[in-house]
Every structure is written in C-alpha cells, then in structure tokens.
Amino acid sequence: MHEYSLADGIIKTVISVAEENKATKVSKVTVEYGLFSLVEAPQLDFCLGLIAEGTILKDAEFVLERNNGKIKCDECGYEGEPKIADDDMLQLMMFSCPKCDSSRTTILDGRQIIISSIDITTDEE
C-alpha cells in the first residue's frame, strides 16, 4: 500500500530528528501533501497512527495539510492553483484551468510530500 510505505518513511524521519534533538516526546507532526501526490489523507493518517504505536511518536497528533499545487494551462497560459471539480473524488484527478476550464494542463508543482513541522518535548527546561 502506497500510504503505508509513505507513513513508514515519515515516521522514520521524525524519529531520527527527535533523537538528534534529544526529544522525550513528539507531540505534533505536520505533513504537507501535494494534490498530485495521489495520497489519500485518511489512509495516510491511519497508517501514521498504526506505525507510531510503541515509538516516541505514540502520543503525537498528525496534521495533514493539502497543498493544491500549481498547473500551467496549455490553452490560455494560466499558471497557478487548479480548479478542483470535487474534493471527495480527488483520486480521479478532476481538475482544470480556473480561467478557461480546459483540462489540457501541465503539472508544475504539487507532487511532493513534506514534513513541514515537528513539535517535540525535551527534558531540558
């Protein structure tokens, strides 16, 4: 499963950052995922919770933020966020140019998955 290996990578990265910073607890992790990364947020959230069990992240809150990315319209030259047809049907990639409604577009940005912040607790006061 795509989301499971992604979640595994995220958890491993957070653990190594937490260890480097001598954290005793990770309280919150914010993950930004691009619209075109084809990530299903509820699945990713579920996998993160599952893998976090028994690690320093076990009490962490996971915040998943979507980045709507950037497209270039091949018809009118528009560059910016796409118009999304239906938020619940993202896996069908129903997006188009907000200016001329063309679906002939090139994806410029929005494929990546980034850990945008990690909140940790350390023993030091």
**Can you give the binding site for Zn ion, defined by CB under 5 A?**
73, 75-76, 78, 97, 99-100, 102
Reading the block at residue 21, the tokens are 């910073």
Reading the block at residue 117, the tokens are 């912040």
Nearer to Zn ion, 45 or 75 (CB): 75
Least distance (Å) from Zn ion to the CB of residue 75?
5
Reading the block at residue 3, the tokens are 């989301």
Query: The tokens 């090139």 sit on which residue?
Result: 106
| DSSP output for 50-68 | HHHTTSTTTT-EEEEEEE-
Nearer to Zn ion, 62 or 78 (CB): 78
Nearer to Zn ion, 61 or 79 (CB): 79
Asked if residues 31 and 70 have their Cβ atoms less than 8 Å apart, the reply is: no
Least distance (Å) from Zn ion to the CB of residue 77?
7
Least distance (Å) from Zn ion to the CB of residue 18?
45
